[in-house]
Structure 1
Amino acid sequence: MKTFEDYLTHVRRSSENTVKAYMKDIKRFFDYLGKSPKQVERADVERFIKALSKGEITGEVVAESTVSRYISSLRTFFDYLELIGVVEENPMERVRHPRLRKKIPSFLTLEEVKALLSVYDEEKKLKYKAILSLLYFCGLRVSELCNLRVEDVSFYPPYVKVVMGKGNKDRLVPISENIVPLLEKYVERYKPKIYFFENKGQPLHPSTVFRIVKRAAQKAGITKHIHPHTLRHTFATHLVMNNVNVKIVQELLGHANLSTTSIYLHVADKEKFDAVKKLVI
């Protein structure tokens, strides 16, 4: 198992979260089967997936997306075993992913974003305001925000360099001129040394960012269930609604596949249909 974990980390260069998820999935698979990798057959995999779908593995019925992740974990694992000669026949061949229904992601209206960003005062809660602003105006993942280094933020020209984000692709995201003065003020006051948002020299923990977003939403009177990723969805949705080319949105988000970004086209379409429904004759 340790060699596979090293393979994920150093060869495939998977993110820390992906490695943890894959290792957890594989452990559950073998705990359930009680077999060695060489003994596993396709029927065993299908039996496990069926049990997983019914909630027999985790104690609750899981979403199709979770089932799909387990299949990806197992496929990657057995591909690795086949690569190094541990197994001759791959039990994951012809095992298909469930057909996933695309869900329109939750996002905030422009008015809600304005309310959210105006919750914290620049004098008393400058750091919180800067965190919320970067999440929305740059569409960062919470992990990317927490691991953002001082050297990765430029004000002249204004951009954020996201290093080794999901999919291991570095990308440059321009910073809106609307928040450059705010971020400059933040740097001048807090003087971060390594990480842009530090906690005693260490990067912020994602749970801290979750709490900041939740508290801001409550103060702003937003009743929707929101979290840091909601601001990323909102960033993308607002760009598409402003007729920004979806290919550009893909690059700004750091999506490997255009199909992942295309979900925001459905969001924009829904808004258009809702607008037309308001017409009265």
Structure 2
Amino acid sequence: MASIETRNTEAGDKSYRVKVRLKGYPPQTATFERLTDAKKWAAATESAIREGRHFKTAEAKKHSFTDLATRYYSEVLPNYNEKEQKERKSKLEWWRHSIGHCLLSDITPAAISEHKSKMTQSAATVDKYIKNLSHAFTIAVNDWGWLDDNPVKKVKSPKLPRGRVRFLDDSERLKLLTACQASTNKQLYLCVILALSTGMRQGELMGLKWPDVNLKDGFLILHETKNGERRRVPLAGHGLELLKEHAKVRRLDTDLLFPGTIHANKPIDLRKPFENALEVAEINDFHWHDLRHCTASYLAMNGASLAEIAEVLGHKTLAMVKRYAHLSDGHVSNVVASMNAKIFGGV
């Protein structure tokens, strides 16, 4: 229930102090120069409290974007691996420098779009900045109750080019593996084989530790992934056999599967050996991450569904793996042909 108290100043001016009291909620007060404004605020506030909207709005007026970013860094980022933490923080820092001083209640889709228009990076990079910002706001809405809605959801993402699909054909794959076997770096061949056979990201592969590897049952567990969720990765065939041999000569001063030569607790750096192998194999326009594209492409060409490819690669949705759909056209055609034969028979 709302009450309005009239106050007179020494100069003879009037003001109206409103107090809204509802059972179970802390009282809310405000002062206005006009009675009509006081009555409007009282009615709106009482309605908002009854509908559960008022205190979330109040929280948005208490916190700035810097507050949001700071809490996100301390509570959310630790759930990701070191590389992902660094990438997410660098993008949110850009936003913090742009809108850090703003109260969350004042950050609108229009304000975000205005800052987005000033960005000179590629469309794909801008999209990552938008998605990182959106995730932070989603946490503030769902977990902290600081906002009613995520304003980033109403910001239009830039039009993205088609996803890159660069994979090695049979000849290229043979030449690369031959060059890796001949490399002076004894870990390169095994790491490339594991990358091709499992689809693990480079950071996931380099961060592997022996306690998370089950050679008997043929799988390993990734605790730190890009999307922050644990993932079980099957091991089979040549990669599993090579890893069993590697386990026989593992170093005892570290849990890492592939420790560096100088610092045992830091992963080995295979950038230069891999580049040298590509040069020897005469393979152009290919990067380590493209080994992951190879895995997805080979799965698609061997009849795996998009859902199965997404599960292997650790994607939460099918959006990221649709780029490989055309590679499984033969499999889809066979499915359609089988269905037609079954329902129409010899008609």
Q: Normalising to structure 1: TM-score of the pair?
A: 0.78
**More displaced stretch, 253-262 vs 142-151:** 253-262
2:127 maps to amino acid: S
User: How much has 1:103 moved relative to structure 2?
Assistant: 2.0
- 1:194 matched to 2:255? The reply is yes
**More displaced stretch, 16-25 vs 102-111:** 16-25
Asked if 2 retains the 8 angstrom alpha-carbon contact of 1:115 and 1:220, the reply is yes
Matches within 5 A, 1:66-215: 66-80=125-139, 84=144, 91-92=151-152, 94-121=154-181, 125-191=185-251, 193-199=254-260, 200-204=263-267, 208-215=269-276
Matches within 5 A, 1:5-84: 5-9=73-77, 13-32=79-98, 35-38=101-104, 39-52=106-119, 55=120, 62-80=121-139, 84=144
- 1:244 matched to 2:307? The reply is no
Higher relative contact order (CA 8 A, sep 6+): 1
SS in 1 for 2:129: helix
Deviations 1:81-110 (A, max 9, x none): 556566678643522223434324211112
Deviations 1:3-27 (A, max 9, x none): 22123225xx344444333332233
SS in 2 for 1:161: strand
Asked if 2 retains the 8 angstrom alpha-carbon contact of 1:250 and 1:261, the reply is yes
Aligned to 1:4: 72
Whole-angstrom CA distance in 2 between matches of 1:229 and 1:50: 29
Whole-angstrom CA distance in 2 between matches of 1:123 and 1:89: 54
Deviations 1:140-172 (A, max 9, x none): 101111111112223323223222322233233
Asked if 2 retains the 8 angstrom alpha-carbon contact of 1:149 and 1:195, the reply is yes
Deviations 1:201-230 (A, max 9, x none): 21315xx2332322211121212x222211
Asked if 1 retains the 8 angstrom alpha-carbon contact of 2:183 and 2:273, the reply is no
Task: Flag the structure with larger Rg.
Answer: 2
Deviations 1:211-254 (A, max 9, x none): 2322211121212x222211111011011111123322222111
User: How much has 1:264 moved relative to structure 2?
Assistant: 1.2
Asked if 1 retains the 8 angstrom alpha-carbon contact of 2:185 and 2:273, the reply is no
Percent identity between the two aligned chains: 22
- 1:234 matched to 2:300? The reply is no
Aligned to 1:265: 325
Q: Which runs of 4+ in 1 moved over 6 A?
A: none
Structure 2's unaligned 5+ residue stretches are 1-68, 331-347
With over 3 angstroms needed to count, the CA separation of the structure-2 counterparts of 1:176 and 1:116, relative to structure 1, is farther
With over 3 angstroms needed to count, the CA separation of the structure-2 counterparts of 1:158 and 1:68, relative to structure 1, is same
- 1:255 matched to 2:323? The reply is no
Whole-angstrom CA distance in 2 between matches of 1:5 and 1:184: 39
SS in 1 for 2:157: coil
Asked if 2 retains the 8 angstrom alpha-carbon contact of 1:37 and 1:87, the reply is no
With over 3 angstroms needed to count, the CA separation of the structure-2 counterparts of 1:130 and 1:44, relative to structure 1, is same
Whole-angstrom CA distance in 1 between matches of 2:218 and 2:138: 43
Whole-angstrom CA distance in 2 between matches of 1:24 and 1:124: 36
1:44 maps to amino acid: A
Whole-angstrom CA distance in 2 between matches of 1:78 and 1:154: 38
Structure 1's unaligned 5+ residue stretches are 56-61, 271-281
1:195 maps to amino acid: L
Whole-angstrom CA distance in 2 between matches of 1:179 and 1:15: 24
With over 3 angstroms needed to count, the CA separation of the structure-2 counterparts of 1:110 and 1:170, relative to structure 1, is farther
RMSD: 2.9
User: How much has 1:34 moved relative to structure 2?
Assistant: 7.5
Asked if 2 retains the 8 angstrom alpha-carbon contact of 1:127 and 1:186, the reply is no
Q: Normalising to structure 2: TM-score of the pair?
A: 0.65
User: How much has 1:139 moved relative to structure 2?
Assistant: 1.3
SS in 1 for 2:214: strand
Matches within 5 A, 1:220-231: 220-223=281-284, 225-231=285-291
With over 3 angstroms needed to count, the CA separation of the structure-2 counterparts of 1:112 and 1:5, relative to structure 1, is same
